[in-house]
Structure 1
Amino acid sequence: MLLNLARCLAMVLAICAVNILHAEDWPQFRGGNGDGISTECGLPSEWGAEVDGKQQNVAWKLEIPGKGWSSPVLWHGKLYLTSAVPREGAEEGSGDLSLRAMCVDAKTGLMLWDNEIFVQDGKTAPKIHAKNSHASPTPLVDSNRVFVHFGHQGTACLDLDGKILWSTRELSYAPVHGNGCTPVLVDGGIVFSCDGGKDPFVVALEADTGKIKWKFARPGEPKKTFAFCTPTVISVNGKQQVISVGAGIVNALDPNTGEDIWHVKHGGYSVIPKPLFAHGLVYISTSYDSPMVMAIRPDGRGDVTESHVEWTLKKGAPHTPSLLILGKELYMVSDSGVATCVDALTGEQHWQERIGGNYSSSLVYADDKIYLQSEAGKAYVLKPGTTFEKPIETGFTTERNLSSYAVGDGALFIRTEKNLYRVQQPK
């Protein structure tokens, strides 16, 4: 055991040494690999408390106009996010909004640009859930482009200075509770789901033009058809698959054609947690009404519901926060604040503890810490392992928070209802 600990320490030190030379980016929802894991080191375990008239470990704070629950992303020293801002002269509560993309200097907190992408007409805009916003999908950065998505309101591609390269509002569907799914980039296309009130589908747009590359109609007739799940791209036997979870079904799609490779039926809807891939298994949560975590082998064809589900788990499964896998351990937190660690290969429980609070944000790992963010603003910093240790309680405890963290450049970037923060150890 001591030898294993020594090896782990050596690996962490090596990763940290690399990061000193190259700051890590966080270019999409849940980071570079889409799994919530960062190799950043030297991050704080506490922040936000008043110390000598200043907020502890806060390098800067920037007020963000409007409302948006999109998580920030980091690319080459710049942060990108979206927001829905009341239009100038619009009556309060009219729903007339400017749907905007923003860029912030990660070092200084200076707003570099703030550009309108679409206009929302309040008379025709569908109602949204009280926990949602009109700017909830997270931006996606690819080299010299940033993609912003507002669900049924439209999708656009910008250059890194905020100039619109293309935009489209061609995809029309009736959302339930608003937008939520964030696109992923694969094989020259951006892929996202349009799981609305009826006729749900998954679509790929050509990244260079915004034109439709393919559309996949979800099969089956679930009682409720809507979902908000961000896809995950995996590789199985040298071939890529897009894992997209909808109401009543999870589909593995060919990224070039949209063809269904395999699918597993489930009983959930309003699915939110992003799938994970590790140990040769796809991990999903089925969300409402009774969430279930499922581990699925992705090497089948057609309907593999009866043949490829390795294990399932109900107790402690989340409706909203995405899962986290570290080594052979799978971590999760339920919406009602129950944290759980299980064996990722078998689903066998190591521990389960109520830590308090309600949760929408996804789990993040960095610097040998698991970061959890409650909706009320309090954060919890948990030590990973098969034995539970009481977490550190910290955070911006007076600010509502439904976004997930971005990690990079030696810092945590935290978006609350009103503000964006850079949190780091003093230098």
Structure 2
Amino acid sequence: MKTHSFHLCLTSLAFLFVTERLTADWPQFRGPDGQGHSAEKGIPIHWREGENITWKTAVPGQGYSSPVIAGNQIWMTSSEDEGKSLRAVCIDKTSGELLHNVEVLTPEEAGPHHRLNGYASPTPVLDGKHAFVHFGPRGTACLGIAGKVIWKNTEFKYNAFQGAASSLILHGDLLILTCDGTDKQFLVGLDKHTGKTKWLQPRAHLERADASAQRAISRMAYSTPLIQAVNGKPQLICSGAFHSAAYDPANGKELWWFPYTGFSIVGRPSYGNGMFYIVGSIRQDHFCIFAVRPGKGELREDQRVWQFSTGIGHVPSPILIGKEIYVVHDGGVAACVDALTGRELWRERLGGNHDASPVEIRGRIYF
């Protein structure tokens, strides 16, 4: 068995996972609101070895999931034995001590993955009493905060040939999965207490994917949904291949949708100013932000307020801050766009490569 480790540094910056609104928790991918915002005070803008680093600890295995925080626990996922041992890892937030390293699933076949992906990429989600972990078609599980596995579900099979990436989200007692494989595309609502299926909704509007020159893979996507109340009613917004759609999270029924061209969408949607800001594409691998007003059925042209497609990254999600939306391209160029009109306000090269999504803390953006 091959065993590797990666490193997690808890710095003062890592307290970007803290917000006053949810009592110092950062329980899901992109934080409490799912959009990358924190109101925490006293976050530094410089850190290095010996400065603003509280502790550093090795984490067993290999993993690409983001760490999530509830109370004094930090959870993430990892893999060992070349993907045949899928694990949930828990670290003490105060000391950096390894609390739990639980083998959750042991698939006979690890499955394929992209060279920039791994076997443990979807980010866990926490509710204060449980940690929910997901490994795409290999399965999903719930653990208690003491590290005991409560349930597992391995019934949803689909071909994620580049590896899994869409993260879990919670809505009340529902745990929602996004499964956009090359062969099957669907969303699932599980009872978070039992892991049993409450609803399953197949994707629609994929006819143009079958006409794509890359038909064999043209139905796949990797985005994480966002739940947002619209006129007092929650809507589940999820980008997929060749379209994005809103669903009723209570039963999975589609509410509205709009088309675009392309697949392999990654960015998570944002909401503000009465609009959803959704990452899609105008042609394959040319990604775009669409600003849309929610409606019913296929959105009208006047509900598609603007689109912006210059330098939109494949992997990093945009971040909406008031009436401005910020993006960073995978190649290291950042830009600011007027969120009401779609007009570019500025563009600047940061340098390096950027796969992580930016975070905003009290008016500062951390790329």
TM-score with structure 2 length normalisation?
A: 0.89
**Contact in 2 for aligned 1:156/1:167 (Cα 8 Å):** yes
Change (3 A) 1:46 1:125: same
CA distance in 1, matches of 2:289, 2:341: 12
Paired residues, number: 339
- Corresponding position of 1:210: 195
Q: In the TM superposition, what is the alpha-carbon distance from 1:307 to its structure 2 partner?
A: 3.8
Is 2:148 the counterpart of 1:163? yes
- Corresponding position of 1:57: 52
- Which of the numbers 163, 167, 191 marks the counterpart of 1:178? 163
CA distance in 1, matches of 2:107, 2:238: 28
CA distance in 2, matches of 1:157, 1:163: 9
- Which of the numbers 90, 97, 100 marks the counterpart of 1:110? 97
State the secondary structure of the residue aligned to 2:106. strand
- Which of the numbers 279, 286, 291 marks the counterpart of 1:290? 286
CA distance in 1, matches of 2:337, 2:360: 16
**Contact in 1 for aligned 2:20/2:40 (Cα 8 Å):** no
State the secondary structure of the residue aligned to 2:137. helix
- Which of the numbers 137, 147, 154 marks the counterpart of 2:122? 137
**Contact in 2 for aligned 1:263/1:305 (Cα 8 Å):** no
- Corresponding position of 1:423: none
Q: In the TM superposition, what is the alpha-carbon distance from 1:21 to its structure 2 partner?
A: 11
CA distance in 2, matches of 1:80, 1:138: 9
- Corresponding position of 1:382: none
Residues 73-96 of structure 1, C-alpha deviation per residue, up to 9 Å, x if partnerless? 01112101110012xxxxxxxx35
- Structure 1, gaps ≥5 residues long: 1-17, 50-54, 87-94, 373-427
CA distance in 2, matches of 1:65, 1:357: 27
Larger radius of gyration: 1
CA distance in 2, matches of 1:240, 1:209: 23
**Contact in 2 for aligned 1:187/1:255 (Cα 8 Å):** no
- Which of the numbers 258, 261, 273 marks the counterpart of 1:264? 258
TM-score with structure 1 length normalisation?
A: 0.77
Change (3 A) 1:141 1:108: same
- Corresponding position of 1:73: 68
CA distance in 2, matches of 1:125, 1:143: 30
CA distance in 1, matches of 2:126, 2:45: 28
Q: In the TM superposition, what is the alpha-carbon distance from 1:19 to its structure 2 partner?
A: 7.1
Is 2:88 the counterpart of 1:101? yes
Letter in 1 for 2:106: V
CA distance in 2, matches of 1:358, 1:125: 28
CA distance in 2, matches of 1:270, 1:29: 19
Indicate the structure whose relative CO is greater, using CA pairs within 8 Å and at least 6 residues apart.
1
Residues 164-205 of structure 1, C-alpha deviation per residue, up to 9 Å, x if partnerless? 111110101111201000011114211121100122111111
- Corresponding position of 1:36: 36
Structure 1 residue ranges, 4+ long, deviating more than 4 angstroms after superposition: 18-23
Is 2:358 the counterpart of 1:371? no
